Amino acid sequence: MEGKILNNLSGDAYNSGALNKDNLDEKILAAAAETVRLLAEKNKTITTAESCTGGMLGASLTEISGVSAYYKEGVITYSNEAKMKFLGVKRETLEKYGAVSSKTAVEMASGAMESAKSDISVAITGIAGPLGDTREKCVGLVYICVKIGDNHRVEKHIFDGERHVVRQKSTLCALNTVIKMIK
């Protein structure tokens, strides 16, 4: 899967009426529990690197008892400076592609994996809104990169909803991507 960006821009299950702010928390918790179960089954460790979700992914994992054996660390790198300092994202990448890009997501995941020496890393970068959109990048645009060993998968999503809902959908999607990749 290396280098392939999967676009989920229309018909996205995350934007259907089945998901709303009232049931997203329970779906996130269920996905976090399944992620931790699979980590235990496969004896794998995980680390997270988050921007627009601000630690929501890490918080969801730490809701699950027993995760301490598998969750190595989580880094919130909201600013470009933090992405460079803590994850080794290249200044050139940020200048050429921006913080919200597939390239940045991959570098975030790679930096997190290297720093934590984990088996799996997950990176999320996006625009949760309501401000921050540009001509090229709209509110709700999110890139998620899951890296397992030398392989990675990058997904590009445009999530609808208010800021908190975009963050929740990003978290749920990241967990579901981990589940798919480690099964």
- Encode pLDDT of 114-140 as tens digits: 999 999 999 999 999 988 888 889 999
Is the separation of the CB atoms in 125 and 97 below 8 Å? no
pTM reported for the whole predicted model: 0.92
Neighbours of 6 (CB within 10 A): 13
What is the pLDDT at residue 83? 99
pLDDT grade, residue 112 (50/70/90)? Answer: very high
- Encode pLDDT of 20-32 as tens digits: 667 899 999 999 9
- Residues 6 or more apart whose Cβ sits within 8 Å of residue 122: 46, 47, 48, 49, 57, 109, 112, 144, 145, 146, 147, 174, 177, 178
Q: How many CA atoms lie within 13 A of 26 on its CB side?
A: 5
What's 164's domain CATH number?
A: 3.90.950.20
Q: How many domains does the chain fold into?
A: 1
Stretch 152-177: mean pLDDT: 96
What is the pLDDT at residue 11? 37
Q: Which domain holds residue 120?
A: 5-182
What is the pLDDT at residue 16? 61
- Encode pLDDT of 143-162 as tens digits: 999 999 999 999 999 999 99
For the record, the structure tokens of 48 come out as: 């997270």
State how far the Cα of 118 lies from the Cα of 168, in Å rounded to an integer. 24
Residue with tokens 């208010």: 162
What is the pLDDT at residue 133? 82
Stretch 43-69: mean pLDDT: 98
Stretch 75-81: mean pLDDT: 98
